[in-house]
């Protein structure tokens, strides 16, 4: 017998309380400090030194087979079913690294020549809002909002009220703090929730969007179906999706190795193809209005250039800082710093291993991009019928 709605609500509430208690404990004293007082190293020094190595090892155990060719169907299904824990664990480990290396908008973008990095990131967010025709009176849901970078930018750009949905308490806490700093606390809010089971009433929002977030879902039908449910009739759904392209060959061992690196390095239980994405939208009832792969272009500065440490593509002072961190020398410096701090007992064991996981992600993404088998910016705009 399936659990009643009341029982399910109680279980979710208890799980949320457990998640919050864990997050406060794991992230330590940094949880309640004002974000502007934090530095990358100071945040790492506050992590729970006993539990972080356990969390890292438990995360890595979700990929049991060393060679993806040998992975069984049962192991793949088990990882997909564990999507919530996999994603939550990943962002507990990676969020501080992301903010240090990338900023508060955790996504890729296209670049114009001599265009500053943060300007390009903002333009990418503006483009999605414009393609969706978000209006100032709209109530908008940001599905998988991270620490709220896109929510703040799109809120400023459109004047709409943005609600961020996130299942990671540490990120929600930071998003709320950043919203206050940006003066957007009255036109934004952030709620805890699994986007496969959104704690939102039917037909609540005029629009919803996801920026490189729904890739963490166990199935796209599940998260797209929830987006469909919470939209008002006629509501619009816009997304930048991570997908494998038509060039991807699931029987090619080299492709499988690269995909494994992307999944493990980014907290993804299963990457799917563009065809599967469009089929999922149709299955849940959306009418697709626009679709294009923005990674297919002749840009002189490719979207993955920051991952390569392409200092020559930098257009502003802080670009050099960002890009230098991903050069070979920059990576080596970060690894040496973390290993030294671990040896001295100043940061939690496992910090160096987390950095290695993220470097695997970067290398795999670049390999996939060069081969043309992957895109992080498959743009679609779909509508819920009136």
Choice among 18-22, 167-171, 338-342, 379-383 with the minimum mean pLDDT: 18-22
Q: Mean pLDDT throughout 101-129?
A: 94
Q: Is the predicted pLDDT of residue 222 greater than 60, yes or no? A: yes
Question: What SS3 string covers the chain?
Answer: CCCCHHHHHHHHHHHHHHHHHHHHHHHHHHHHCCHHHCCHHHHHHCCCCCHHHHHHHHHHCCCCCCCHHHCCHHHHHHHHHCHHHHHHHHHHHHHHHHHHHCCCCCCCCCCCCCCCHHHHHHHHHHHHHHHHCCCCCCEEEEECCCCCHHHHHHHHHHCCEEEEEECCHHHHHHHHHHHHHCCCCCCEEEEECECCECCCCCCCEEEEEEECCHHHCCCHHHHHHHHHHHEEEEEEEEEEEEEECCCCCCCCHHHHHHHHHHHHHHCCCCCCEHHHHHHHHHHHCCEEEEEEECCCCCCCCCCCHHHHCCHHHCCCHHHHHHHHCCCHHHHHHHHHHHHHHHHCCCCCCCHHHHHHHHHHHHHHHHHHHHHCCEEEEEEEEEECCC
Q: pLDDT tens digits, residue range 26-41?
A: 998 767 654 556 788 8
User: Could you give the percent of the chain with pLDDT greater than 70?
Assistant: 92
Q: How confident is the model at residue 235 (pLDDT cuts 50, 70, 90)?
A: very high
Q: pLDDT tens digits, residue range 356-386?
A: 999 999 999 999 999 999 999 999 999 999 9
For the chain, the average pLDDT equals 92
What is the per-residue pLDDT for 14?
A: 81
What is the per-residue pLDDT for 99?
A: 93
What is the per-residue pLDDT for 2?
A: 46
Q: Mean pLDDT throughout 335-341?
A: 94
pTM of the model: 0.93
Q: Which fold has domain 14-386?
A: Rossmann fold (3.40.50)
Q: Is the predicted pLDDT of residue 328 greater than 90, yes or no? A: no
Q: Is the predicted pLDDT of residue 299 greater than 90, yes or no? A: yes
Domain ranges of the chain: 14-386
Q: How confident is the model at residue 315 (pLDDT cuts 50, 70, 90)?
A: low
């Amino acid at each position: 017998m399936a659990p009643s709605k009341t029982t399910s609500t109680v279980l979710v509430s208890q799980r949320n309380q457990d998640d919050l208690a864990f997050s406060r404990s794991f992230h330590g004293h940094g949880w309640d400090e004002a974000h502007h007082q934090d530095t990358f190293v100071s945040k790492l020094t506050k992590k729970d030194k006993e539990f972080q190595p356990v969390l890292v090892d438990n995360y890595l155990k979700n990929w049991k087979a060393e060679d993806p060719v040998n992975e069984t169907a049962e192991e793949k299904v088990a990882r997909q079913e564990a999507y919530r824990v996999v994603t939550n664990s990943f962002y507990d480990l990676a969020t501080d690294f992301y903010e240090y290396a990338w900023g508060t908008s955790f996504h890729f973008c296209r670049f114009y020549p001599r265009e500053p990095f943060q300007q390009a990131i903002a333009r990418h967010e503006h483009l999605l809002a414009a393609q969706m025709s978000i209006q100032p009176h709209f109530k908008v849901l940001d599905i998988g909002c991270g620490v709220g970078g896109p929510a703040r930018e799109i809120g400023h750009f459109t004047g709409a009220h943005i609600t961020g949905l996130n299942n990671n308490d540490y990120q929600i806490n930071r998003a709320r703090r950043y919203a206050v700093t940006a003066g957007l606390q009255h036109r934004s809010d952030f709620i805890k929730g699994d986007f496969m089971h959104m704690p939102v009433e039917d037909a609540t929002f005029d629009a919803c969007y996801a920026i490189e977030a729904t890739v963490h879902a166990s199935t796209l039908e599940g998260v797209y179906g929830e987006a469909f449910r919470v939209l008002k009739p006629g509501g619009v759904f816009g997304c930048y999706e991570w997908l494998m392209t038509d060039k991807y060959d699931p029987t090619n061992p080299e492709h499988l190795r690269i995909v494994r690196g992307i999944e493990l390095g980014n907290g993804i239980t299963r990457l799917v193809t563009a065809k599967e994405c469009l089929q999922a939208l149709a299955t849940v009832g959306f009418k697709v209005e626009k679709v294009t792969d923005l990674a297919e272009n002749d840009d002189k500065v490719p979207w993955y250039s920051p991952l390569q440490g392409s200092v020559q593509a930098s257009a502003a002072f802080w670009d050099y800082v960002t890009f230098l961190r991903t050069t070979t020398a920059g990576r080596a410096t970060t690894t040496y710093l973390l290993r030294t701090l671990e040896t001295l007992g100043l940061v939690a064991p496992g910090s160096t291993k987390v950095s290695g996981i993220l470097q695997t992600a970067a290398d795999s993404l670049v390999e996939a991009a060069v081969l043309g088998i992957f895109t992080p910016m498959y743009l679609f705009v779909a509508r819920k019928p009136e």
